[in-house]
Structure 1
Amino acid sequence: MYSRTLQMLSPDYLKKLSTPSWDVIVVGGGITGAGILRAAAQQGLRCLLIEQRDFAWGTSSRSSSMVHGGLRYLGSGDWKLARDSINEREWLQQSLPGLVNFIPFLMLHKPWQWPTHHAFQLLLTCYDRLAGYRTRQWFNKLKIRQLLPCVSSACVSGSGFQDALTDDARLVMRVLQEAKNDGAELLSYTRVDELVYRDNQVVGVKVCTEANKQAVLEATVVVNATGVWSNKLASLAPGLTLRPLRGSHLTFPAWRLPVPAVVSFFHPQDHRPVFIYPWNNATIVGTTDLDESQKLDKEPKISLTEIDYLLSAANSQFPHAKLTASDVLSCWSGVRPVLSQKRQRKPSKESRHHMIWQEPGLISVSGGKLTTFHLIAEEVMTLVAQYCPDAQPVSIHTSPWLRTPSISNQWLRYLNPQQLQRLFGYYGKAANELLNCAKKEELNTIGASHTLWAELKWILMHEWVIHLDDLLLRRTRLGLLLRNGGDEYFPQIKYYSQQLLSWDDLRWRQEVQRYQQIWLRAYQLPNIS
């Protein structure tokens, strides 16, 4: 059976990629790099993406996974970013139902707290006008108690509106799959050691794989989309500094803190917005916003201060829940690449705009939001076109950037409509083949997650899984959603890994040890046994 994963692991794969020269090499396998690769492939360019770890290893698998219109940006007067974000939210939801889904948001109001519900409703009026339709609602105290029976009695009203949620790592994979289908190539666990120059212009990169194989890959133009590492490959534009900001989250079983919507409120400690929301059959509490002081080449991890901060936030709004650290399934922390103008600001006050700068043969981009990754890609491609005049610009309105096939009714015998829509959102046209290859018993979910055993099998064959943590932390989210990182299901996962990736018993033990070390260090709360 054909396997994209085994193809990437082939000893000849790097040699195959070394010649001839590429039109575009994208360095960085997060959502920004994936979007640029997708745009380049659709424009008919010969393009390659290189990632030093796993795809979506960095910020793009550790965000809050919100595809939102940027209500906070509208509140701060950034109308353009809010408008662009709303437009992109609409496009993503229409293109990827099942992967990007609308969900109600509920902002809780307390007496004498700013903004009042009147001021917030005025803001939502502007928000709706930018979207072109109304979603705003107002709820009195009685209605709030009906929606959230355990909410604090201090909440006197609420403002409802609509935004969207996704799975950020799966969004990256969906975009990469589309790029691959249009002829792009991908290379993970390959480090770019240095840029190659000729006549004072970048003409390629020197790379080294995890297996210590080295090569020089030439390109007409190189795009540096490495996020918080962007200043390692190229100097920042004058006047800019890269400020890595850490945001952390806690994962609870859905039954422990059930919420029907994204609940938003201001933390009583510092008046920052905090969210409690349903995600992948769990409940998430996040996020923090702190300067990251740990080394960026290590897995970011939550601090004891952040744990206390998030627990106190949740308990302030849901005091009867009496949440403690022992209730937490997992935690995760991501580091945002924020470009600062060298001014001393609170982290939450920093701009989330992206910036692009360049030198001959090299285009660098950093910052920005998950929601606007496609706009960032389009902007970068206008600069790429200066180096690649044969590029064929494509409008998303005439040739869909992301293709969602129709859902066959034959599978309704085994799966409900929501499950089918999720599969087609996650895997696009590959969902039909995924289902065709599945045995009946593989259409069961894994534990309390939404993931099917059939998905896990498909992912191992086709989604470039090199290590066990790639599978459990990013391709699926089993390591976040199941107790003890999902170790209860290791025997079945071992079977599929050995069958499809040819791992022997020694390799399996090595992968389990590697995964558990990562999970204990970065995804389990400190001092929790």
Structure 2
Amino acid sequence: MSAFTEREALWGALARPWDLLIIGGGITGASVLREATRAGLKALLVEQRDFAWGTSSRSSKLVHGGLRYLANGDVPLVRQSIRERQRLMAEGHGLVVPLDFMLASHPKEGGKHWQGRAGIFLYELLTGRWPRGNHGSNRLRELEPSLVQEEGLIGVPYDEAWVDDARLVLRILREAVAAGGSALNHVRVTGLLREEGRVAGVELTDTVGQRSATVRARAVVNATGVWADSVRAHLSAAPKLRPLRGSHLVFSSERFPLSHGISFRHPRGDRFVCIMPWEDSTLIGTTDLDHHPSLDQEPSISPEEVAYLMEAVESRFPSLRLTLDDVVSCYAGVRPVISSGASDPSKESREHLVLEEEGLVTVTGGKLTTCRAIAHDALRALRRRIPELAALKPEGPFLGTAPALNEVSLSPEARTRLQGRYGADAPALVAAARPGELHPVPGTSTLWAELRWAARNESVVHLDDLLLRRVRLGLLLPRGGEAYLPVIRAICQQELGWEDSRWEAEARAYLTLWRIHYALPETPRPQHIGPPGSITLAS
């Protein structure tokens, strides 16, 4: 059955009774759906744009242990983050990848230098290991030759992990659907149904087929992230969120080689910048700014943010002589942060919130790393309405077991990659590949076969769904992969069922989207952009 046929069949079944309806197809909504299906519920997830369209495809790509929370004394949250990271690395091997990190610090930073070293010492103990020795100047020169050579500079090592965030969402969703759950993208909630003063369902509009439906459920979860207040507004509830934008620059690993993640203080303040290897690139971020444009608009990096991040790169890697011409792509995401009224955006808590209002359970905030634990917190709030949830074990498995791949033409690295990103689908993906499609797209580790599989099976509605989220070629290749569109068309057009006019319209729309939101702004400023603190970075 094609993805289009499955979509039509599911739309026709919306009138049936549901146990749980989840609004939002990011990491939180996907995790709630997965755990709800594990409890045997008839659960439906709807997403107004594409799966992982929002924050969940625009993160810093880190599955981190919560080092920054130690500054607030939140040791329990750090322990939880470390535990959840270990789980994801074990169950998502090949998708969640261990990464050696280090804090580049100098005694001239004063108390901040010693505070950072002490924080990592405690963090390492919480991970269950005795802290390692610091890297001195000579060792730093061996490990990262392009890092600035400064007498007295040390590297304080600690553990992190990186992830393809959108693929994590897709794997969780597909495993939930395989276990009996249902999910629809490009379906917007236009209203909440209330019966006897409680939310009992939603009104939906299919933005693809231009049709509407009414769906009833025993419980409704609002997992829309930064849009959570928009859903709550149907209940006239007061806003809770402070949308904060985080932006990143992407360089090719050939131009910006790096084998470790490196965090350091920006030269004009105390905020930390992280530069790390990711996929076949090097990533730098992130900013932390109040985001004022409409949330329905695709977010974009600002010229000021570009200048701020480039200043950080130039301060620590001057020998590379990197310029704006070396930036392959950039992206921006908006975080759903619970507002406390703090003057500095970076001082806001990153903890999540679970709130019940007139029967609607809202879950928002939090971090990708703790997605499973957040989902359990949301489902616990539903136990009075759905008693079956009491049997759900909080310490059970999260991701399914990925079967072995026996294709001899695949390298060990490619096998691990496919198993991690596609889980139980990996053997079928390999079997569907045509001659030559198990080779990588030049300049990346992405196999051509991944494009065919996604186009055939992963609910692709628009070309940007495919190139920005199912695979990440839009971030990894110059001009969003424009040079490879003819090859991508030959592989994917028939799988998508698009006529020539549809493909050409989608290609034009994708390239326009990329130029506006994933290329550098037209007027970046290379000079300093204001006094310290005018733009801050999340620590």
TM-score (norm 2): 0.93
1:180-329 counterparts in 2 under 5 A? 180-210=177-207, 211-235=209-233, 241-329=240-328
Displacement of 1:7 after TM fit?
Answer: 2.5
Q: Matches of 2:220 and 2:12 in 1, distance apart?
A: 19
Match in the other structure for 1:162: 159
Q: Deviations over 1:148-203 (max 9, x none)?
A: 21221236111011111101111100110110111111111111001001111111
Which of 55, 58, 61 is residue 57 of structure 2 equivalent to? 61
Counterpart check, 1:455 vs 2:455: no
1:87-166 counterparts in 2 under 5 A? 87-114=83-110, 118-134=114-130, 136-154=132-150, 156-166=153-163
Displacement of 1:404 after TM fit?
Answer: 2.2
Counterpart check, 1:517 vs 2:534: no
* Residue identity opposite 1:376 in structure 2: I
Q: 1:239 to 1:138 in 2, by over 3 A?
A: farther
Conserved in 1, the CA contact under 8 Å of 2:101 and 2:158?
yes
Q: Matches of 1:55 and 1:48 in 2, distance apart?
A: 14
Q: Matches of 1:35 and 1:299 in 2, distance apart?
A: 24
Conserved in 2, the CA contact under 8 Å of 1:246 and 1:290?
yes
Match in the other structure for 1:389: 387
Conserved in 2, the CA contact under 8 Å of 1:117 and 1:159?
no
Q: Matches of 1:237 and 1:146 in 2, distance apart?
A: 59
Match in the other structure for 1:435: 430
Q: Matches of 2:177 and 2:7 in 1, distance apart?
A: 16
Partner of 2:259: helix, strand, or coil?
Answer: coil
Displacement of 1:254 after TM fit?
Answer: 0.6
Which of 375, 378, 382 is residue 377 of structure 1 equivalent to? 375
* Residue identity opposite 1:323 in structure 2: L
Q: Deviations over 1:3-50 (max 9, x none)?
A: 2x222443x5422222x1110000000001000011101100000000
Q: Matches of 2:174 and 2:316 in 1, distance apart?
A: 41
> Which ranges of structure 1 fall in alignment gaps of 5 or more residues?
none
* Residue identity opposite 1:357 in structure 2: L
Partner of 2:399: helix, strand, or coil?
Answer: coil
Partner of 1:52: helix, strand, or coil?
Answer: coil
Conserved in 2, the CA contact under 8 Å of 1:195 and 1:204?
yes
Partner of 2:12: helix, strand, or coil?
Answer: helix
Q: Matches of 1:27 and 1:253 in 2, distance apart?
A: 36
* Residue identity opposite 1:479 in structure 2: G
Q: Deviations over 1:433-476 (max 9, x none)?
A: 11122234111111211110111111111111110000000110
Conserved in 1, the CA contact under 8 Å of 2:104 and 2:155?
yes
Displacement of 1:240 after TM fit?
Answer: 6.2
Deviates more, 1:55-64 or 1:239-248: 239-248
Q: Matches of 1:504 and 1:9 in 2, distance apart?
A: 19
Displacement of 1:312 after TM fit?
Answer: 0.5
TM-score (norm 1): 0.95
Match in the other structure for 1:25: 21
* Residue identity opposite 1:250 in structure 2: L
Partner of 1:105: helix, strand, or coil?
Answer: strand
Q: 1:392 to 1:41 in 2, by over 3 A?
A: farther
Counterpart check, 1:336 vs 2:335: yes
Conserved in 2, the CA contact under 8 Å of 1:107 and 1:265?
yes
* Residue identity opposite 1:233 in structure 2: V
Match in the other structure for 2:534: none
Displacement of 1:124 after TM fit?
Answer: 2.2
Q: Matches of 1:116 and 1:356 in 2, distance apart?
A: 34
Displacement of 1:405 after TM fit?
Answer: 2.5
Conserved in 1, the CA contact under 8 Å of 2:379 and 2:389?
no
Q: Matches of 1:429 and 1:8 in 2, distance apart?
A: 19
Q: Matches of 2:258 and 2:216 in 1, distance apart?
A: 51
* Residue identity opposite 2:83 in structure 1: N
Q: Matches of 1:239 and 1:85 in 2, distance apart?
A: 30
Conserved in 1, the CA contact under 8 Å of 2:303 and 2:523?
no
Equivalent pairs counted in the alignment come to 521
Q: Matches of 2:118 and 2:236 in 1, distance apart?
A: 38
